[in-house]
Amino acid sequence: MLGKNLAEVRARIAAAARAAGRSADSVTVLAMSKGHPAASIAALADAGVRDFGENYLQEALPKIGAVGRTGLVWHFTGMLQSNKSRAVAESFDWVHTVDRARIAERLNGQRPATAARLNVCVQVRTDADPRTGGCPPADLPALCQAIHALPRLRLRGLMCLPPPGDSATARRAQFHAVRDLFEQLARAGRPAAPADDAHPGLDTLSMGMSDDLELAIAEGATLLRIGTALFGARPAPIAPAAQAP
């Protein structure tokens, strides 16, 4: 079933990329495996998926241990709490939800010296509601500059997560806004400094999920975070009490 789901997702991506005049290779599938067992991750990895995303540390760490790291890239896409940042810095290759300088500094300080730099996307708040996560657009340039200065992090791009229940029109508008911000940042960049190993430049727009991947591709997404369309419906989320440290 996973192989068939993956083929269907790849066909949707190919069609959407063609419609947008983009190459299907410009879009990577990040399989959101939260709620699904290590065996399903291993099966998708065997089918050729390399990138996996998890939201909850307590769930993710044993699964990473079981599936392993060889040839795989692990992305943390959940809410970043300060008291959990060390385990994130030690166990993941990417973090998609950096939204303030303080958490970036913690991750930088906690990233083991023996590991490669931690790849980081800044989550952008696309909704005026201050309770939703993400960096307000007005604060993005300063936050990105701060991350550029941290030697154990590599700033790769932006991430957005439209609130559940938003219409297709509202989602597309948010994807469009984030792409605009991405292009402004890439232009402002570090004009004096060429891209180098530490800062390969901004190359990642993490947006689009099972229901809206076509809209996200039309707006320039490079990394799609796909759960349900690959794995099927998730079991009920783990209760908050079970997530306590």
Ligand X SMILES: *Cc1c(COP(=O)(O)O)cnc(C)c1O
Minimum distance from residue 191 beta carbon to ligand X (Å): 32
Which residue is closest to ligand X by CB? Answer: 227
Q: Which range binds ligand X by CB under 6 A, 3-11, 56-64, 133-141, 221-229?
A: 221-229
Q: Tell me the window of 44-52, 84-92, 189-197, 222-230 that interacts with ligand X (CB under 6 A).
A: 222-230
Please say which residue, 12 or 117, places its beta carbon nearer to ligand X. Answer: 12
Query: Which among 174, 139, 141 is positioned nearest to 159, based on CA atoms?
Result: 174
Would you say 172 or 225 has its CB closer to ligand X?
225
- Answer for the pair 73, 119: CB distance below 8 angstroms, yes or no: no
13 forms part of the interface with ligand X (CB under 6 A): no
Q: Does the footprint of ligand X cover residue 80 (CB under 6 A)?
A: no
**Is 134 an interacting residue with respect to ligand X (CB under 6 A)?**
no
Q: CB of residue 182 vs ligand X: minimum separation in angstroms?
A: 17
Give the number of residues in contact with ligand X, rule: CB under 6 A.
Answer: 13
- Report how far residue 74's alpha carbon sits from residue 68's, in angstroms, rounded to the nearest whole number: 10
Nearest to 141 by CA among 122, 160, 154: 122
Our finding on whether 122 is near ligand X (CB under 6 A) is no
Candidates 32, 23, 34, 91; CA nearest to 236 is 34
User: Which residues, in sequence order, are bridge partners of residue 74?
Assistant: 52
- Specify the residue, 195 or 211, whose C-beta has the smaller distance to ligand X: 211
Tell the residue number behind the tokens 């949707």, with chain if given. 12
Please report whether residue 28 would count as binding ligand X according to CB under 6 A: no
- Which part of the chain contacts ligand X (CB under 6 A), choosing from 5-13, 104-112, 181-189, 205-213? 205-213
Question: Near ligand X by CB under 6 A, which window of 68-76, 136-144, 182-190, 219-227?
Answer: 219-227
Does residue 226 touch ligand X according to CB under 6 A?
A: yes
Residue choice 209, 215, 216, 218 for contact with ligand X (CB under 6 A):
209
Looking only at residues 29 through 48 of this chain, which bind ligand X when binding is defined by CB under 6 A? Answer: 32, 34
What phi and psi, each to the nearest 5 degrees, are found at residue 121? -115, 145
What are residue 226's phi and psi, to 5 degrees? Answer: -115, 120
Q: How far is CA 36 from the centre of its chain?
A: 18
Please answer whether residues 91 and 72 qualify as being in contact, where contact means their C-beta atoms are separated by less than 8 angstroms: no
Q: Which of 55, 119, 126, 174 is the binder for ligand X (CB under 6 A)?
A: 55
- Contact set with ligand X (CB under 6 A): 32, 34, 55, 77, 161, 209-211, 225-229
